Every structure is written in C-alpha cells, then in structure tokens.
Structure 1
Amino acid sequence: MYRPLVQHNRLGISVYEGPLIGVRHVQVFLYFLLLTYTYCMRTVLSVAIVAMNNNSTTTNTDIETFHWTNQSIVLSAFFYGYILLQVPVAQLGKKYGPKWMLVVCTTVDSTSFLLIPTMASYFGSIGVIVCRVFQGLAQGGIAPLVHTLLGCWAPAAERSVLGTVTYAGAICGNILSLPITGVICSSWAGWPAAFYLFGALGLKWVILWMIFGSNSPSEYKTISEEEKSYIQTSLGQRENKKYKTPWKKILTSPPFWAVTLAFAGANWGSSVLLTQTPTYLSKVLNYDIRTNSLFSAAPYVAMGLSSVVFSSVCDWIINRNIVGRGTARKIFNSIGMLLPALSLSILGFVSKEHAGLSVALLIFNGGITAGGLCGFQVNHVDLSPNHSGILMGITNSSTSVFSIIPQLLVQFMVTGDMTDQSEWRIVFLISAGVYFVTDIFFIMFASGEVQEWNECEEIREDAENPEKQKEYTKE
C-alpha cells in the first residue's frame, strides 16, 4: 500500500512516499546484521584479553593464558590496518559496485578473527597483532561500502531512521559481544570459544549477502516499480549513471570538514568507552570479569534504545519542517557530543567508593552518544548521495588515528599502577575536551543540504530539461 503524493525532490519532480515495508528494508536489515557481526569481532578482544592474561577467570585450568605487558598496543593494532584501504575500497565500490567487495572484506575479517587463538598460542601477542591488523584492513572497507549502499537505497525522508538502524548494528554488536564473551571466558570452554563463535557468524552473513544483497534498486530483480521509482526520484538518481569523484571540491568543502572533525571527536570518545571501559571496571572499580562484561555492555544497550528514539524524532522534525535538515543534524550531534563531554568530566572525579555512580555515568555516556548517529554519521549522505561512500572512506580512515591515540594515551599516561584513578582522570578530561571542540566546529560549518559537487554538469543541465526529467520517473 502506498501513501499519498506529498513532496517534490530537488529537481522539482513529484515523489511518492514508498511502501511501508519494502526491499530497501531487507537491504538495511542485512547492513544491520553485517555491522552487528563485525563489531562483535572488533570488540570481543576488549573483554577476552583480560581472560587471556588471567587464568583465574575460567574453571578450565587447561586453557592457555599469557602475561602480556603490551595489552593496549594489542587492542589498538586493529586501527593500524583500519586506516589504510578505506578510500581505495570506496572508490572501487563506487565504480564496480559494493556487493562482492563486501563479500571479500567480511570473509577476510571473519577468517582473521577465527585464527586469533591459534596465532596467540604459537606467536603470542605479535600473532594477535597481525590478525588484528588484517581485521582492520578488512573492516576498513565495510563502512564506506555500506555508506555507498545507503546512498543508493535510503530515501531522503527516511534517511535518519534507515541510517541509524544500519549503524545500530554496531551498537548491537557491542551489546551482544561483551556479556557473551564474559560468560564464555568464565566458562569451561574458555576464551578461545568466543573467537570461534563470532567468526563463524561472520561467515554465515557472507552467505546471506550473496543470496539477498544488491548494489542498487535498479539491480534488484524483484523490487516493485513503485518502490524503485520512489527511491530513485527521492535521491535524484538515474539508471546506471556513473559519477566522477570531485576530489578537489570535496576536500575544500567546509561542510565536509565539519563531518570529518565531528567523526574524529566521536572516534576518540567511543574508543575510550569501547576498549578501556572493561579495564577501568576491572582495575579501578574491582568488578569481576562476568560483572565487568555486563556493565561494559550496558552503555550500548542504552545507546541502542536511545538511537530508536533519536532517529524517529529527527526524521519527524525534518519531514514536518519544524527545523531544517542541517539544524536537526547540529542539534542531535550536540546531544551526542556535549553531554558525553560533561559525563566524562564528572566521571573522572567520582571516587572508587561510589562505583555505582561511575557505572551510571558510563551508561548515560553510551546512551546519549546515539545522538551522533543522527548528526555527523548520516550527514555524509545528506551532503552527497552519489559520493557518500567516498566521503565515509575519507572521514573514517583519516579520523581513525583518533581511535588509536586514546589507547596509546592510556598506555603512557596510566603507568605502573592501573588502579590509580587520578591518572585515568586525565584520560577522561582530555576526551571531554576533544568532544567539545569538534562539536563546536560542526555547529559552525555543518550543512544538511546536497552540495553542488554531488552532481556533474550534465545532470544539472538535465534538471532544466523537461524531456530528461522523464528518465527519473515512471509515468
């Protein structure tokens, strides 16, 4: 069933609101599953590394354990690979289509993850670092490819919700992996079983994607003409149209740099929350591994619930013209960055005797950062549906260093006694400052409008030609 004709796209062409449930939702569900599994594989080590270096966490004394002094280096190794291939993969995905490149990336990611127990046994922390670098290389291509797909499948009127549902997979991955890993590590099966479980789930997704995934509405054989027309007219797409990447215009665009800086701040904050929370709960607040993993997952449960509310409200106020798209992005980005800055600042001064309050602040921090999913995260597609994958590749790769720096900061700032809260306080305050500065830049320069460099000159001329406009719609 279709809803009434209610809007016009930027070319002045009438656009029907699409079916309530359609093929685009199947595609977004697959993206959600992909990010769920990849983030499971990204985060398991944050909890498992505690068990890998402490044989008292399991009832099975035959499980091999280690005594690594470079744990923060091991945790950050993922990001060394993550930086390298994002832009090249995004460019190839735009040129040849993302579907089969996602197959390759996810297969490499899952296989590298499955090999971690074996590599740890034979080569120690160096073997795990190698696996994590390969995981980073593979996962680095996933986000740009997914953004390319969103640029083809997510209509403007549904962009906040569909984009947030997609990236809620990252939240779900953290929610699932942290407590499940804690339970597995404390069980007779021991820490290796966690790597085998989630690696197998990643390979299972590859099979689902090969069967049901598609590059675009025009390539999906069984999509209805109505839904295909709705998506393409909403995005101003033409069948099989290829666009050259306007590198110079992208790199000199203030709204693009606003997204980039916001991404940097979010990466820094999420890196502290994701990889250091289990260590903080264990060393400073003295929680055992099972309780630790549950509390480590709690911020992501809050984030998942908040993302549903934030995305729905964001699209609602945009579609009813309560505020403009750009203003909405700035409002929700500020919710997702300024409030976490405040909570991290307070967290650094909460004493060990009030561990419950510290946990509550960590949960609040995780929940409120969901605002960023409706801010900078989907803003790539706002600026340029045609080049959203390239934008994501540039921002995600160039700002990945801000995921590495906090790990190194902990390695060198929290020295000797990891139970010293005063040293952790410095880490939290620096993170709060990064959140604040990057959000202010986003407020000043961000935009919610499609940028002129999204389209080549030929398309802009077509927009003025009534005969050419017929190619965009089914009459």
Structure 2
Amino acid sequence: MSILRRAYIKYSPLNVNRFLDPAHRPRFGKRHSQILIYFLLIFIAYGIRVNLSVGIVAMTDPTASNNPDIPTYNWTDKSIMLSAFFWGYILPQVGAGWLANTYGPKWFLIISMSICSLFGLLLPSMAALFGSKGVMASRAIQGLCQGFIFPSTHNLLAQWVPPNERSRMGTFVYAAGPFGTVVSMLVTGLIASSWYGWPMVFYLYGGAGILWSVLFTFYGYNAPSFHPSISEEEKFFIEHSLGHGDDKPKLPTPWKKIFTSLPVWAILLTQCGHNWGFWTLLTEIPVYMSNVMNFNIKSNSVLSALPYFALWVLSFVFSVSADLLINKKIFTIGGSRKIFNTLGLVVPAVALVYLGNTGSDETKKAIILLVVAVGVNSAVFCGFNVNHMDISPNFAGTLMGITNGTSNIFGIVAPLVKDPNEWKIIFYLTASIYVVASFIFIMFGSGEVQPWNDEEKIKEKEKSEA
C-alpha cells in the first residue's frame, strides 16, 4: 500500500487533497516552536563555546576589571586552553548521531546540556583550585557534552522540517551559532571589564544552559508523532513531505555504503576545510585585535563580534534566496547547494588574501576584510551544512556525527598564532583550504537522496515489480 494511501486511511475523514494544496498548508505551527527551541540551544551552546576566547584576556589581565577582588592568572598555555574544548568535542560525534537516530535525541540533549552548563558554573572554581589545568578539564568536559548537540539537532531537523523549508529553517537554527558568538563576545567583554568581572560570564551562561534543559524537558519532542497537541493537518504535511509516518520502521545503518559514498565524502572534506578557517578566525580574532591591531578589551570584544553579526544577518539573506531558487525550480537542490557553498568559501578566501597584506596601521581595511571573510561565509549554511538531510534524511544525524566529529579535529590543529608576522601565512593557508574545499563539493557533492537512505523501500519496490 502506498504511503499516501496509508496516510489517507489513517487521517480519514480529513481531506488529504486539501492538505496537499499549498494554499492550505500550515504557515506557522508546532514545527516553528520546535525550531525556536533549537535556535536557543545553538545560541547558548555557542556562547559557552566562545566566551573563553574573550574571557581569557580578562583572566590574565589584572587591569581588565575595576574590582580588585577579581582573580587573574599568569598563564603561559593560553593557546592550549583555547583548544581544550575540542579534545572532548570530537569524541562522541559518530556515536551521538547513531544514538539520536536509534533512540531519539531528546534525553541525550537534556543530559549533555545540563552537564555542560554545570561545568560552566564550576569553571571559575576549577581555575582557582587547579589553575589552567582546571580550566582545560572543564572545557574538555564541556566539549564532550556539546559533541551531542549537532548530530542530535540534525536528527531533529530531519524529522521536523519539510524539504521545501530546509534552507530557511536549517539556517535559522545554525545561524544561532554566529549570533550567539556575537552576543557572547559583547557580553563577555562588557562583564569582564565591569565590577562583576570574568567569573560572572561563566555563571550567566551556565545558568542559561540549565534553564534551556528544563525548557526542552517539557516542550521538546523527537518528531511530530510524539507531539501531543500538533494539528493533524500539520502532522500530515510534515510526514508526507518527508515520505513517512508513524509506522515508519527503524532502519539499520548502512555503514559500508555511507563510508563509500562520494557525496558523503564531499560533505566531510568540505566541512573539514570550512572548520579550519572558521575556528582559526573564531578563536584568534580577539587575539588579532589585541596583539596586532592594539585594541583594548572593550573595543576588542565589539570589533571581534562585528564579523559574526554580519554572518548572522547575511545568513537570512542567503537562506531565503536558496529556498526561493529551489522552490521556483530555477536550480535543483544540488545546484543551489553548490552555488551557495562556493560563494561562502571563495569570497572569504579572496578577502583573507587581501587581509594577509594589510598592515597594523590599516585598521579600517582590516575590519572590513574580516567582516567580508566571516560574513559571506554564512552562505555555507545553505551549502554543505544542510546537505546531510538532502542526501539521507533517515541518517542525517549519523552523517552529521561523522562529518562534524572528523572536521572539528581542525579546531585543535588549526594554527594558533602568537607572532604577528605569522598572520600572513595563516590567512594564505586558510584561503587555499577554502578554495580546495569548494572545488571538492562542486565536483562530488549531490542534492539527491541516496539509494542507501531507504534500502527496505527499494527492496519492496523491486519485489512488487518482479
């Protein structure tokens, strides 16, 4: 029996044809409230991720706060501290994606976010008791917990977001990352230079993470079929557009076919190249502003946040454009993904080449180039970043675990610059990696659902045709 026929029987006496009429599709519903909760998750998670990048300046500067009771430290291993988050982050990714696909991501997200937030609250105490090693341990545990976030979120998006809304909703959720980065950098700089000092930053974000866990406990759901108050119209609209319903069986993970799939490797290698540049800039822009451009902590936090504010704003422009081009059938899904992915990598590469030739006295030029390099990079949200759901909606969480876990190794090995003379090399290298990553995705990326996404359906079709 066809999916549509089963749905018709299940939803009778509702008019299925009415649900399929675009004029009667739900414009705002429970899927949007779920998306808002995921937005808050990524917003808080990125705030936790990056607050040390600005906070570490205040933690090691006795003049940063006007409160003499705020402790400061003379640490020489700041670069290692900044990379400690990734020690834990890369470990659970593949397992987290598999667990999310197999058992549902809700409670994995709640538990991991709660532990992550708890160690944010404990970080000032860990610094006081154990010095830089205590901070490293806290950050590594936070990274371990956040390793569940992206694979689980991808799984939820694959269950809740219809394909024709994927660019917009996926971008809205993941753009919370740069928006959270902007707010975190601003808030960290302001609080760290105030009477409350840098410890208040970690208390603030730790508390926010705990509150989010409580919110998701009561209002988060793994799929439309679990939501107690979703309308039948919206539920049918989502499930039919994704090609499944309540009776959709759990599928075994086709590991061999995943690891031999060229589109998967295209996403993986592209994400590796992107993460090299993204995390190099994210962790080092505050240092660049302070050491190379000689800005103090207040102006440093504002200017460090500016490129990520541009990224957040432009992400909406690109995502709406991408969905429009797809829905109007101007480009295929694969074509649209490749166009925006190329835009998000090649334009920043050009900006970084120019940035490498910018002197310390050309501050305005440097800021404009950083805004372009980081801001236009948001186009990749409509490129490889949602492509997992295009090629395999059934295993999107697992794919994100594989690609995100592997690619974030570059969050550890990406260059950590101390000598201003090395910035030119770093910018040139990052630009080159961006261009190579873009070329790989153009050559081997795809927007088509892969055959291994639902082998059982293919087998059933072959039997019926035999």
- In the superposition, the TM-score normalised over structure 2's length comes to 0.93
Could you say which residue in structure 1 is the equivalent of 2:272? 264
Which deviations, in whole Å up to 9, do the C-alpha atoms of 1:365-420 show, x marking residues without a partner? 121011000000000100111000000000000111111111xx225xx3xxx3x3
Could you say which residue in structure 2 is the equivalent of 1:51? 58
Q: What is the CA-CA distance between 1:461 and the residue it aligns to? A: 2.2
Which residue of 81, 84, 102 maps to 2:91? 84
Counterparts of 2:459 and 2:63 in 1: how far apart (Å)? 66
Does 2:276 align with 1:249?
A: no
Matched to 1:127, the amino acid is G
- Matches of residues 33-432 of structure 1 in structure 2 within 5 Å? 33-240=40-247, 241-406=249-414, 409-410=415-416, 414=418, 418=419, 420=420, 422-432=421-431
Matched to 2:149, the amino acid is I
Could you say which residue in structure 2 is the equivalent of 1:9? none
Check conservation: 2:280, 2:416, Cα contact below 8 A.
no
Which deviations, in whole Å up to 9, do the C-alpha atoms of 1:333-390 show, x marking residues without a partner? 0111011111111111101111111011111112101100000000010011100000
Counterparts of 1:446 and 1:372 in 2: how far apart (Å)? 13
DSSP 3-state at the match of 1:55: coil
Which deviations, in whole Å up to 9, do the C-alpha atoms of 1:259-308 show, x marking residues without a partner? 11111111111111210000000000000001000011111110111011
- How many aligned positions are there? 445
Could you say which residue in structure 2 is the equivalent of 1:454? 453
Check conservation: 2:31, 2:160, Cα contact below 8 A.
yes
DSSP 3-state at the match of 2:230: coil
Could you say which residue in structure 2 is the equivalent of 1:469? none
Counterparts of 2:200 and 2:433 in 1: how far apart (Å)? 37
Deviating above 2 A after TM superposition, structure 1's stretches of 4 or more consecutive aligned residues are: 13-18, 456-466
Which deviations, in whole Å up to 9, do the C-alpha atoms of 1:17-57 show, x marking residues without a partner? 43110111111110000000000000000000000011111
Q: What is the CA-CA distance between 1:458 and the residue it aligns to? A: 3.8
Q: What is the CA-CA distance between 1:425 and the residue it aligns to? A: 1.0
Matched to 1:410, the amino acid is L
Counterparts of 2:373 and 2:331 in 1: how far apart (Å)? 26
DSSP 3-state at the match of 1:242: coil
Could you say which residue in structure 1 is the equivalent of 2:13? none
Q: What is the CA-CA distance between 1:459 and the residue it aligns to? A: 5.8
Could you say which residue in structure 1 is the equivalent of 2:434? 435
DSSP 3-state at the match of 1:60: coil
Check conservation: 1:336, 1:370, Cα contact below 8 A.
yes
Q: What is the CA-CA distance between 1:464 and the residue it aligns to? A: 8.9
Matched to 2:287, the amino acid is T
Matched to 1:441, the amino acid is I
Q: What is the CA-CA distance between 1:238 and the residue it aligns to? A: 2.9
Check conservation: 1:410, 1:427, Cα contact below 8 A.
no
Counterparts of 2:227 and 2:251 in 1: how far apart (Å)? 21
Which deviations, in whole Å up to 9, do the C-alpha atoms of 1:109-162 show, x marking residues without a partner? 111111110000110110000001101100011100000001100100000001
Counterparts of 2:462 and 2:260 in 1: how far apart (Å)? 25
Counterparts of 1:116 and 1:462 in 2: how far apart (Å)? 56
Computed over aligned residues only, the root mean square deviation of the Cα atoms, in angstroms, reads 1.5
- Matches of residues 456-471 of structure 1 in structure 2 within 5 Å? 456-458=455-457, 461=460
DSSP 3-state at the match of 2:136: helix
- In the superposition, the TM-score normalised over structure 1's length comes to 0.91
Cα 1:362–1:225 shift into 2, 3 Å: same
Matched to 2:232, the amino acid is E
* Structure 1: 5+ residue stretches without partners: 1-12, 467-475
Check conservation: 1:344, 1:428, Cα contact below 8 A.
yes
Counterparts of 1:102 and 1:301 in 2: how far apart (Å)? 27
Q: What is the CA-CA distance between 1:237 and the residue it aligns to? A: 1.5
Check conservation: 1:16, 1:230, Cα contact below 8 A.
no
Q: What is the CA-CA distance between 1:434 and the residue it aligns to? A: 0.9
Counterparts of 1:400 and 1:348 in 2: how far apart (Å)? 24
Q: What is the CA-CA distance between 1:456 and the residue it aligns to? A: 2.3
Q: What is the CA-CA distance between 1:61 and the residue it aligns to? A: 1.6
Q: What is the CA-CA distance between 1:96 and the residue it aligns to? A: 1.1
Counterparts of 2:174 and 2:405 in 1: how far apart (Å)? 17
Identity of aligned residues (%): 46
Q: What is the CA-CA distance between 1:460 and the residue it aligns to? A: 5.5
Cα 1:317–1:463 shift into 2, 3 Å: farther
Counterparts of 1:464 and 1:291 in 2: how far apart (Å)? 67
Shifted more, 334-343 versus 454-463: the winner is 454-463
Check conservation: 1:53, 1:65, Cα contact below 8 A.
yes
Matched to 2:288, the amino acid is Y
Shifted more, 233-242 versus 168-177: the winner is 233-242
Check conservation: 2:315, 2:381, Cα contact below 8 A.
yes
Check conservation: 1:81, 1:140, Cα contact below 8 A.
yes
Check conservation: 1:179, 1:293, Cα contact below 8 A.
yes
Cα 1:252–1:215 shift into 2, 3 Å: same
Check conservation: 2:58, 2:192, Cα contact below 8 A.
yes
Could you say which residue in structure 1 is the equivalent of 2:3? none
DSSP 3-state at the match of 1:410: coil
Counterparts of 1:442 and 1:235 in 2: how far apart (Å)? 25
Q: What is the CA-CA distance between 1:462 and the residue it aligns to? A: 5.8
Counterparts of 2:112 and 2:255 in 1: how far apart (Å)? 25
Counterparts of 2:230 and 2:245 in 1: how far apart (Å)? 16
DSSP 3-state at the match of 2:369: helix
